[in-house]
Amino acid sequence: MQQKIIILDFGSQTTQLIGRRLRELDTFCEILPYNKFPKDDPSVIGVILSGSPYSVYDPEAFGTELADFVGRVPVLGICYGAQYMAHRAGGRVEPAPSREYGRATLCGVDGGSPLMRGIEDGAQVWMSHGDTITALPPHYRRIASTENVELAAYEAEDAPVWAVQFHPEVFHTLCGQQLLRNFAVGICGSRQDWSPASFVETTVAELKQQLGQDRVILGLSGGVDSSVCAVLLNRAIGKNLTCIFVDHGMLRKDEFRDVLRDYEGLGLNVVGVDASAKFFKDLEGVTEPERKRKIIGRDFIEVFDAEARKITDARWLAQGTIYPDRIESLNITGKTIKSHHNVGGLPEEMHLRLCEPLQWLFKDEVRRVGRQLGMPEHLIARHPFPGPGLAVRILGDITPEKVRVLQEADDIFIRGLREWRTEDGDTLYNKVWQAGVVLLPVQSVGVMGDERTYEQAVALRAVTSSDAMTADWAHLPYEFLAQVSNDIINRVRGVNRVCYDISSKPPSTIEWE
């Protein structure tokens, strides 16, 4: 049985990070809404209560049935989680004189507490709270303080309960991983057996059992998630998996051909559908970004559905949904607030059931699983690419000629990033989160040979990021930018000016449209 730690989400922005940190300790965990603790699940070895935007005194503050797990499995409260447990057990929680935010150092650490093993006075932690615990319940004791917060960490004497006022999951809490290791491994007894190899082994066995001889359809995008999902399913059910890869005409240069070849090389049963003519026709003259997206989304569903209907005995629709997609899709009251379906509208009458084997994985774990499955590195390390493709990088209306120009410029930029070595021997491509070229609706004057030119301007965009929620423009070397600019202007007919986008997100999004 796969052991797991349950993280109950009370709405903190860093709840997902707690999950990531546990996975880094090769410990499987699930993040669930604060009131959805799975009673009677014998695989649960511990519970973590997250922080929250609320104060325990807010009328709308989230509460949970502590008796479901306190005293049964070890519990760790973080920030609000610490205040909530103290408050419920008879302690006192009060507004801090001022909201505490930022670095603090621990003092009075009780090295005898199993939570504090290996953590010493002076360890740096990160605080972010408005309330503070001013008195502990009976039979609870303090195990660490900071200069401003006397009760920075506590434990119960009569139950396996620990809590910290600071955030061990954030990077700035330097002893955070040690503390979480003390909890997960030392206290809960995690075997630390979650690994890509164990994931592949158990998931393939589960898929075989779940799917039997059923036929399954999967939409491939060329991206990491759907590709890994396909290879995993292929290992479990082989030819009973049919993958559909739609070319909407706005992929990168030669991408449809190259990726299709990769997929075939991996032994996948894949149908490639070139529907570019339909997309170009429907997009003719459309300039408004959201309308472009809608048309592409609608056409994509039509093309995908038509192809899927040919597989008349299909029983399942597989999707490469990953954990962050699911977390974004659920709010903590357990209601779906955003549909995460990548391929969307398959008709109800097809009665397809959903199969999402990567639904518990974070992005970096998907990549590790891909490597475990022996997939080529260039498929695994691919940058994210928007569903509507180059359509959102051509400002204004879309024509096949504009796509051709952009594909050529983009190819020079991306190829350059792949080939340019940095000091540590890695490539610039691997250093950036995402990169591409934007075709601007601007013409400018230039000179080529003895001729005056009046041609298109393009912008290069490259960003560093860890989740695309925020992003910084990549500080690419000037020599590299100079070479790319030269190559584009010399080799791409129709472009005579290259700019570099030096804006960060927020306020500027990664894509221009």
Which of residues 4 and 393 has its CB atom nearest to ligand XMP in the complex? Answer: 393
Catalytic residue among 79, 175, 188, 355: 79
Among 384, 400, 441, 477, binds ligand XMP (CB under 6 A): 384
Do 80 and 63 meet the contact criterion of CB atoms below 8 Å apart? Answer: no
* Least distance between ligand XMP and beta carbon 416 (Å): 19
If 0-12 CB within 10 Å is exposed, 13-18 middle and 19+ buried, where does residue 7 land?
A: buried
What residues from 453 to 512 belong to the interface with ligand XMP (CB under 6 A)? 468, 505, 509-511
Shortest Cβ distance from residue 176 to ligand XMP (Å)? 28
289: contact with ligand XMP by CB under 6 A: no
CA 29 to chain centroid: 16
Binding segment toward ligand XMP, per CB under 6 A, in 1-9, 19-27, 356-364, 382-390: 382-390
Quote the least distance from Cβ 479 to ligand XMP, whole Å. Answer: 27
Nearest residue to 196 (alpha-carbon basis) of 362, 6, 3: 362
Catalytic choice (87, 129, 167, 248)? 167
* Cα→Cα distances 154→108, 110, 465, Å: 12, 10, 36
The window from 11-19, 177-185, 384-392, 424-432 that contacts ligand XMP (CB under 6 A) reads 384-392
Number of Cβ within a 10 Å radius of residue 197: 11
**Choice from 186, 387, 446, 494 touching ligand XMP (CB under 6 A):** 387
Report the 3 state secondary structure along 240-285: HEEEEEEECCCCCCCHHHHHHHHHHHCCCCEEEEECHHHHHHHHCC
- Shortest Å, Cβ 18 to ligand XMP: 24
Say how far apart CA 485 and CA 495 lie, in whole Å.
Answer: 10
Widest Cα–Cα separation across the chain:
89
Number of residues lying near ligand XMP (CB under 6 A)? 12
Bridge-based pairing state of the strands 451-464 and 434-448? antiparallel
For ligand XMP, the closer CB: 189 or 384: 384
| CA nearest to 131, candidates 78, 60, 56, 34 | 56
Within residues 249-268, the interface with ligand XMP by CB under 6 A covers: none
Find the binder of ligand XMP among 388, 438, 488, 495 (CB under 6 A).
Answer: 388
Q: How far is the CB of 511 from ligand XMP (least distance, A)?
A: 3
Residue at shortest CB range from ligand XMP:
387
Instruction: State yes or no: is 60 an active-site residue.
Output: no
Per-residue three-class SS string for 204-251: HHHHHHHHCCCEEEEEECCCHHHHHHHHHHHHHHHHHEEEEEEECCCC
For ligand XMP, the closer of residues 5 and 392 by Cβ is 392
Q: Quick check: is 167 catalytic?
A: yes
CA angle 347, 209, 351 (to 5 degrees): 10
Judged by DSSP in three states, 434 sits in: strand
Query: At its nearest, how many Å lie between ligand XMP and the CB of residue 384?
Result: 4
For ligand XMP, the closer CB: 70 or 403: 403
Residues 311-370 that bind ligand XMP (CB under 6 A): none
- CB-wise, 155 or 513, nearer to ligand XMP? 513
Out of 293, 341, 371, 404, which residue is the one contacting ligand XMP (CB under 6 A)?
Answer: 293
Distance, CA of 281 to CA of 287 (rounded, Å): 14
**169 counts as catalytic:** yes
Catalytic residue, from 30, 100, 155, 169: name it: 169
For the bound state, the minimum distance from the C-beta of residue 220 to ligand XMP, rounded and expressed in Å, comes to 14
Residues 427-456 that bind ligand XMP (CB under 6 A): 434
**Cα-Cα-Cα-Cα dihedral sign, residues 126, 131, 137, 142:** positive
Say if residues 230 and 268 touch (Cβ distance below 8 Å): yes
- Catalytic positions are 79, 167, 169
Query: In the complex, which residues of this chain contact ligand XMP (CB under 6 A)?
Result: 293, 384, 386-388, 392, 434, 468, 505, 509-511
